[in-house]
Amino acid sequence: MIAPGSLLAAHDLRKAYGPTPALDGASFSILPGEVVAIMGPSGSGKSTLLHCLAGIIRPDSGVITYRDRVLSDMSDAELSALRRTEFGFVFQFGQLVPELTCVENVALPLRLAGTRRKDAERVALEWMERLEVDGLASKRPGEVSGGQGQRVAIARSLVTSPRLIFADEPTGALDSLNGERVMELLTAMARSANTAVVLVTHETRVAAYSDREIVVRDGKSHNMERAV
Ligand code: ADP
């Protein structure tokens, strides 16, 4: 049922909002270091699947395992600890904290985990250099472009060296040139750190950066053979 060696795997997930099924028997798996795109039209259940996989919402039924631990057996506190230490997140709009500078935003996950400011900001700056946004360290999110903000958000998602990054339409608010740059950097950085990426997108061009695609339709998942 669940592929051996998976980092994260889900089987037969169901989730309904009132009478509407958002997930209707979706399955998923990802190997360590793999980049998997979840595709499908708007309203098909992609975000619901991502939020279930990340332990943000609980499915009505179905099993999700992360490194042999069953998510439904974990308490809310255990799930949030897992999200803080093992997962990174990138959203459509960077969701940076507007009051903090860019380097403080990138350092935030480390600060929340108890790392001292100086050490957290040193690691944050290293990631910002790799994403070519170290020049923006002292700027606030309102002073940088959409593409720059997403690169700052990617630096923030990587700063704790997570095993898995959830990226929900990370290029949805960017033009195609900036979108491609963001995808290049996200996948290159993740691959160099052996971090797996679950990428939700409705754009074929963005999904092309993945190793494998899963299409969601009407809450059901379908594995796609990649055209060559
Ligand atoms: P996608 O990400 O593919 O656009 P979603 O997972 O957001 O799809 O939504 C799947 C279905 O579930 C849609 O019919 C949507 O309207 C419904 N849905 C999603 N979230 C909620 C919610 N919080 N309350 C009610 N209905 C929801």
Cβ 158 under 6 angstroms from ligand 1? no
**Structure confidence at residue 5 (pLDDT):** 86
* pLDDT tens-digit map of 106-160: 999 999 989 999 999 999 999 999 999 999 999 999 999 999 999 999 999 999 9
CA dihedral (23, 211, 190, 173) positive or negative: negative
**Structure confidence at residue 227 (pLDDT):** 56
The architecture (CATH level 2) of 1-86+164-172+196-228 comes to: 3-Layer(aba) Sandwich (3.40)
**Structure confidence at residue 6 (pLDDT):** 93
What residues in the chain have per-residue pLDDT under 50? none
Cβ 17 under 6 angstroms from ligand 1? yes
| Backbone angles phi and psi of 226, in degrees to 5 | -75, 130
R_g over Cα of the chain: 17
The encoded tokens of residue 187 equal: 């996948």
Q: How far is the CA of 173 from the centre of ligand 1 (A)?
A: 20
**Structure confidence at residue 91 (pLDDT):** 87
Shortest-distance Cα residue to atom 27 of ligand 1:
17
Cβ 55 under 6 angstroms from ligand 1? no
Report the amino acid identity of residue 81: A
